[in-house]
Chains A and B, each alone.
Chain A
């Protein structure tokens, strides 16, 4: 059983829609991540939150807007997406930057299709 929960598992949206992806973890981790994964490719980092503050934005287009309401929750707000944004969106968490290792715990992902 995954300890990082993502909803919804599947999402289909038009280019003018507004939708959100949600992620929750209860492992006490202080870092949370959004990754984008295209078919047959490795995950690409989009955003990192550390202690609920945005630490890294990998030059992601503004049509993706992250939000970290508290230490357990991470959202990704989607607006005016393009068909090429269709992908698997993975949420992950890890211990804080001072911890040794910092391995990532992933959710099962939200598969997004933009029509």
Chain B
């Protein structure tokens, strides 16, 4: 069975501060890992993905994530957030060779001025 756990439902942070959104996954088979962002009243947009190779992946809007196989984690980070980063962030996993993408419950990032 496969599961994705996002450890924080809400993360408030001040503008220009660093942020980390935590994600742990569980799977008995190889998976691809993703972070998606959803702005209000919009669909989801891919931020970044880990397929294989280098464990540090960089995405759009200055975000990056680190894959840690021993801790089965894929935490998302940004060194300095902006008001416009306020959104819902979903960590997701997909079996290699499968169609199903399993989403975590989401983390609401709220950036304060």
Binding site for B on A (CB under 8 A): 2, 4, 6, 31, 33, 40-43, 45, 48, 50, 55-56, 90, 92, 97-98, 100-109, 111
Contacts and interface: CB of A to CB of B under 8 A. Distances in A.
A6 B44 CA distance: 13
A52 B45 CA distance: 24
Nearest to A90: B43
Interface of B: 32, 34, 36, 41-46, 49, 51, 90, 94, 96-101, 103-106
Interface centre among B44, B96, B100 (most CB of A within 10 A): B44
Contacts of B104: 42
A55 B99 contact: yes
Contacts of A102: 32, 94, 99, 101
A84 to B, nearest CB: 20
A90 B32 contact: no
A42 B103 contact: yes
Contacts of A40: 106
A111 B41 CA distance: 9
B98 A97 contact: yes
Given A108-B42, A109-B42, 16 more contacts: A42-B103, A42-B106, A45-B101, A56-B100, A90-B43, A92-B43, A101-B32, A101-B51, A102-B32, A102-B99, A104-B44, A104-B46, A105-B46, A106-B36, A106-B43, A111-B41
